[in-house]
Chains A and B, each alone.
Chain A
Amino acid sequence: MSLRIVVCVKYVPDATGDRHFAEDLTVDRDDVDGLLSELDEYAVEQALQIKEANDDEAEITVLTVGPEDANDALRKALSMGADKAVHVEDDDLHGTDALGTSLVLAKAIEKTGYDLVVCGMASTDGTMGVLPALLAERLGVPQVTQLSEVSVADGKVTGRRDGDTASEQLEAALPAVVSVTDQSGEARYPSFKGIMAAKKKPVESLDLEDLDIEADEVGLEGSWTKVEEAAERPARTAGTIVEDKGDGAKQLAEFLAGQKFI
């Protein structure tokens, strides 16, 4: 049977842009260009490689929860080679936090049907890195996360998790949730052919009703957390900059000694 892979992706404000908060203290998405989170490209890439390694006996669905523009992230993933997309979009989702998002994703994943869920290691905006674990818990399947190497064969997923104190070889039976790091392998660029083909690939649109989720379970009001204040970090006061004319190290040492570092 063909392997059903669901890749969760997020549409995020460009990290190189001037990101800030909207008045309701959610992430402002209007003034900064959005794109497919760079770290999710690694997830799409690994899904494609798993499909290729399984003689193309797999179907890759990319899934996102987000506003209308999040369609761009899906198109990018489709142009890289994913087969179809699911877009969960609902006005009541505005301001949903990680726990709420994991609820929506879990329901959408179950509705889509899956053997393997692939995520990136974190989003580049929220940077929490908890969604894969949240999904595994909600779906009640093994979590095989933070992998720098992953492969799927004979109904099993195996991979290497490089931690701070040890490198671990992991193994779990499908279905499972995996997450891959930016060490898992550079993501491919969409080819012209891929971009053209993506335009014809199906994007299914779902709302909260389709997923049997009540509006008060998600959104800003239904959020499990509340941001009370957001303030721009004050610019660092301009420091002393010297040009090295042979005594740069000495001057720097003086500074460090003055600060009691030596």
Chain B
Amino acid sequence: MAEVLVYVDHVDGAVRKPTLELLTLARRIGEPVAVHLGAGADTAAPVLAQHGAVKVLTADAPEFAEYLVAPKVDALQAAYDAVSPAAVLLPSSAEGKEIAARLAVRIGSGIITDAVDLEAGDEGPVATQSVFAASFTTKSRVSKGTPVITVKPNSAAPEAAPAAGTVEQLAVTVAESSKGTKIVSRTPRESTGRPELTEAAIVVSGGRGVNGAENFPVIEALADSLGAAVGASRAAVDAGWYPHTNQVGQTGKSVSPQLYIAAGISGAIQHRAGMQTSKTIVAINKDAEAPIFDLVDYGVVGDLFDVVPALTDEVKSRKG
């Protein structure tokens, strides 16, 4: 059976959920071979094996942390040369897409980004994408070379499928030309303790109606009661009420959770582009005419400062 390379997104060996989703999708096309770069392969390998990785190719080099993107492309290319895979899958993170793009040029292959589903096809894997602010769904395939495809988080439910997961060292030589962009310093973000926005099963977002940074704790309290991530509309971010990393929309994150709760968000195209594919959508807004209500499964026309805290109390009491 053909092998499929899966690029592992991890923090010191703690594998992030989108990688497990990639392994699940990879099994539809062939046998997943995971590529783990950096420290922590021993920690990651059992998790990757549990989700179907027949092999785990690993390499660690200081250059991965010292220079931007390009050294990782060298490593993934080495894995590509070693395996001759049927496809290469990466997570649709900013870095994942950049690595994918550069690999595609090097191996003379087409690239598809932001797939939300993947299936085997007669002429290679077929990727489903959600385009034009999620108003259209397309099916595409790579028609030249080995398909390089990046997949969005929450595109599949990770399935356990135990496989060997044999760890093999990958010989990587980082080219001088890959040391062009130096990472001079790195300041890790402080963890909020909440789930990652793009990976969360539930997202609670606040918009213009939240009316000030000092009011965002109202949104956070509801999110915490539900174990949800916190999002914000562009209006709220532009006003400086909430960090840009939490922005949901065309120029921020695009999320596809099981449940999306929009509080005080009117639902402009810019925002819809980032949340329209959520499974269940709920909105709370004062304005009954707000376009967000066209999308909802359940909407409450009312003041978010009444409804959201009361809902938080309801959730807490029901969860006991």
Give me the interface of A with B, judged by CB distance under 8 Å: 15-16, 19-21, 25, 39, 97-99, 102, 121, 124-125, 127-134, 136-138, 140-146, 148, 158, 161-173, 176, 181-183, 223-233, 236, 239-244, 248-253, 255-257, 259, 261-262
Contact = CB atoms under 8 A, between A and B. Distances in A.
A171 B300 contact: no
Given A130-B97, A130-B100, A166 B189 contact: yes
Interface string B36-76: 00000000000000000000000000000000111001000
B139 A229 contact: yes
A25 to B, nearest CB: 8
Contacts, number: 265
B208 interface: no
Interface string B243-257: 011000011000000
Contact of B301 (A161, A223, A243): A243
Interface residues of B, number: 91
Contacts of B135: 19, 232-233
Given A140-B177, A244-B301, A262-B315, A170 B68 contact: yes
B281 to A, nearest CB: 7
A243 B302 contact: yes
Contacts of A228: 126, 138-141
8 contacts: A15-B269, A25-B138, A124-B250, A223-B143, A239-B299, A244-B303, A261-B226, A262-B315
Contact of A231 (B106, B137, B143, B145): B137
B182 A99 contact: no
Interface string B196-212: 10000010000000000
Interface in B274-320: 276, 280-282, 284, 288, 293-303, 306-311, 313-315, 318-319
A242 B299 contact: yes
B13 interface: no
Top 5 closest pairs, chain A to chain B, by CB: A244-B302, A224-B110, A142-B180, A249-B310, A253-B314
B237 to A, nearest CB: 9
Given A124-B250, A130-B101, A244 B300 contact: yes
Nearest to B109: A224
Given A16-B269, A176-B180, A183 B98 contact: no
Interface in B225-276: 226, 244-245, 250-251, 258-259, 269-270, 273, 276
